[in-house]
Structure 1
Amino acid sequence: MAILILGLVVFLGMHSTRIVAPGLRESAVRSMGLIPWKGLYSVISLVGFVLIIWGYGEARYTPTWVWVSPDWTRHLTALLLVPVFILVTAAYVPGTYIKAKLGHPMVLGVKVWAFAHLLSNGTVADILLFGSFLAWAILYYAVARRRDRAEGVTYTAISAQRDLIAVVVGLAFYGAFAVVLHEWLIGVRPFG
């Protein structure tokens, strides 16, 4: 469990620099340059991500159950993940109305992803993993939206076609993940 906690601290800590130390990024970019900062950020995040995967995998061998979710929650989780894939895709398709309206669709996707998984998973490791991501996403979204308003940041929508692309690509990724990749990467079949 310690490895999982360390991974969460490293990964979410790195992703929280704009929350807890807003000037850190700008200062680091000034002193080392944008590309080296992005490289450092990526390496530290990757280390945290690997630790999360390792720690969560280890914790699954000897689970400590807090609750056992009813079977129907698996189906609800699967349903809630449909908009997650669309939101995450919309974060990368420039000019969507989704991003123009929501500002940070990926963070909203993380919120829904974490909440959905808490519904159907009840071990201590699940609560640590998904609860930490949920708490981080709630805080990050609030701070990011407040910062956008304070700085006058807006996101421009170009056309509804961009949203259609986000929806179609998001649904394709959802299908691939739900049918094949979730079992291959996580070891759990969402529909079986």
Structure 2
Amino acid sequence: MDSDKSLGRIAVVKDLMHFFHLPGGETLGNLAEERARKRKQEAIDSIVQELEKGTDVVSAFDEKEVPEFVDMALRLIDAIEKGTAKRNLRLLAQVIVGLKKNRLFKFDNFQKWANILETLTRDELLVLGKAYVLMQREVHVWSLLVEELVPNTFPANGELDAVCAGLLRTGLMLPVPALGNLSYQPAKALLELGKLALLDPGSDE
């Protein structure tokens, strides 16, 4: 089924090129097909690397957990097919290990985080990583977050505000009404996620 999806996408690329009378449709179609295969393999490799780091944990499955793992693996395949970035896929693999380590190994628990993690942008992951580090030692982290990220990462407060506003959809960042403006506060759920995966502000593609 996965190969059918990939072939379908390649066919669409070729059809579009023919529609617009662009030269090299077959050649570029083949390049797109090869690129799709390579991207999928790289994604799988990054997932396997993360799972290997937790081999001592993941290998100790009992019989009841096998169906849960199969469902998680299928969900990972779905994320790959969606074109989820490798950094996000690595986090998903870490969540599998983290759930096992923390005795929370249920597909529903994985699905909850997968739905969030696969959508996060690089900037959003960076902000969450910084916020996670800060909230472990401070209750109110907004001013510290601004101090660390503006202007070193974001040229102006407005850009950081925009990223945090986008994170409201995840439930990992909460709005905090303030006199004359709006600030943000990481939710307790971020601490929960941090126990399952490495929230590294410097994670790469």
TM-score by length of 1: 0.26
Q: Which has the higher contact order (CA 8 A, sep 6+)?
A: 1
Structure with the bigger percentage of helix: 1
Larger radius of gyration: 2
